[in-house]
Amino acid sequence: MEAIILVAGRGERLRPITNHVTKPMIPFCGRPFLQYTLESLRGLVSRAIIVINYKGEQIKSHFGSRWRELPLHYVRQPTLCGTGDALLVARNLVREPFLVILGDVYASRELLQALMEHESPNVLALTKVNDPENHVGVDFEDGRVTGLWTLNPWVDRGLWKFSPAIFESLVQAERRDSILRALRGVEAMLKAGERVEVLLSDEPWIQLGDHAARQSVLDACHFFLRQQGRVYYGEGKNCQIYGSSLEVTAENCHIVNSVVFGRGKLLNSRVESSVVLCRWNTENVDLKGEIIIL
């Protein structure tokens, strides 16, 4: 089985971060966001096909034609016309059921394996949320999708398995303002009587730049820090970091390989190979490595 990863978009909800770096290349604990998904795919799929456009050379130059033992193939979406259009760019590269991963969604190895092993060739992974009005709710019965864009608390999480039949459905699907979303292809499949099933997951849903863009970055940072057994953004003697989604104060810290996002104060600290974003007041800060401070 192969995987298609859609990373072409501009990430406009995450500006000013994405003025400098494409969304899948935002670093978390020293690794680009996309790297965590590629690690999950190692040994599961024979190849990852990466659909690029905006700042796509950042991705190609970093990962090259192979990540560890996972072969990578790049294809360019000429015009940014939605995830469905991006998927169609890879139409001639797959001939059997394949995984699709949105590039701003973290995909764990366990969830990807569950999708691969699902008996249906067409599966949407779902997660339960408290604010379905901000997402794509999915109605289902006996494991089968019955409707999309509903207020069901089970919503699409941007991880799918499709048969090649999705491509013809996308060709038939409705474009809105020239934009073709991949889930419009699923709607077309349902109208044609195709069976699409669901995989329910209670794993944390880590995604970047949704309706709560700043909070999504903080949530991702906290998630990857917890994975590595770290408590704070920074580390060092007398390190103190106080924060929320809007205000952060960092004092006497050595911040390394991290993302610090929001507004606040950065005092008497060293920042190394990190991204510090938005409105910060700095005092006595030693800057090393590749750093963006806005």
Residue 24, C-beta contacts closer than 8 angstroms, at least 6 positions apart: 7, 32, 33, 34, 59, 103, 104
Instruction: Give pLDDT tens digits for 151-185.
Output: 999 999 999 999 999 999 999 888 888 899 999 99
Go through the domains of the chain in sequence order and give each one's CATH number: 2-201 (3.90.550.10), 231-293 (no CATH)
Q: Which residue has the tokens 């963006």?
A: 292
Distance from the Cα of residue 113 to its chain's centroid: 18
What pLDDT is stored for residue 251 in this prediction?
73
Dihedral (CA of 12, 175, 177, 79) sign: positive
Instruction: Give pLDDT tens digits for 18-27.
Output: 777 788 988 7
pLDDT of 139 over the 70 cut: yes
Cβ atoms of 104 and 201 closer than 8 Å? no
241 compared with 195, residue with greater pLDDT? 195
Cβ atoms of 241 and 249 closer than 8 Å? yes
If you average pLDDT over residues 35-42, what whole number do you get?
94
Q: What global pTM score does this model have?
A: 0.81
Instruction: Give pLDDT tens digits for 179-224.
Output: 999 999 999 999 999 999 999 999 999 998 777 776 787 778 778 8
